[in-house]
């Protein structure tokens, strides 16, 4: 497994490469987190940045997209239980 961690202000984007392939390319899981108390403008900026990342990365390579506004450890536990 390979991962890429992107921090944008208080926001987190985490890409996790799976060992599973679709054709000749690996599949990825995108985990994102943002704080509950963010202002609307900050949330919109974050959403557009995430959309741009997915578009440039190649949305077909992303197997699952997990989002939340609680601790990131929740997503790691969810991901662990999912496989």
Is the pLDDT at 53 greater than 60? The verdict is yes
Residue 70's CATH number: 3.40.20.10
Domain count, the chain: 1
pLDDT at 3: 58
pLDDT digits (tens, 9 = 90+) for 5-46: 666 667 777 788 888 888 888 888 888 877 778 888 888 888
Of 15, 79, 11, give the one whose Cα is nearest residue 44.
11
Q: How many CB atoms lie within 10 A of CB 64?
A: 13
Contact 48, 27 (CB under 8 A): no
pLDDT at 72: 54
Q: Pairing relation of β-strands 62-68 and 25-33?
A: parallel
CA gyration radius for the chain?
A: 13
Domain extent for 26 = 2-82
The whole model's pTM is what? 0.67
pLDDT at 39: 87
Handedness of CA 35, 47, 61, 58 (dihedral sign): negative
pLDDT at 81: 58
């Amino acid at each position: 497994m390979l991962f890429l961690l992107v921090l944008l202000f208080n926001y987190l984007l985490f890409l996790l490469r799976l060992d599973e392939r679709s054709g000749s390319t690996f599949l990825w899981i995108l985990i994102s987190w943002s704080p509950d108390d963010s202002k609307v403008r900050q949330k919109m900026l974050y959403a557009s940045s995430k959309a741009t990342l997915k578009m440039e990365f190649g949305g077909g390579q992303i197997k699952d997209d997990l989002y939340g506004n609680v601790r990131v450890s929740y997503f790691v536990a969810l991901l662990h239980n999912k496989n």
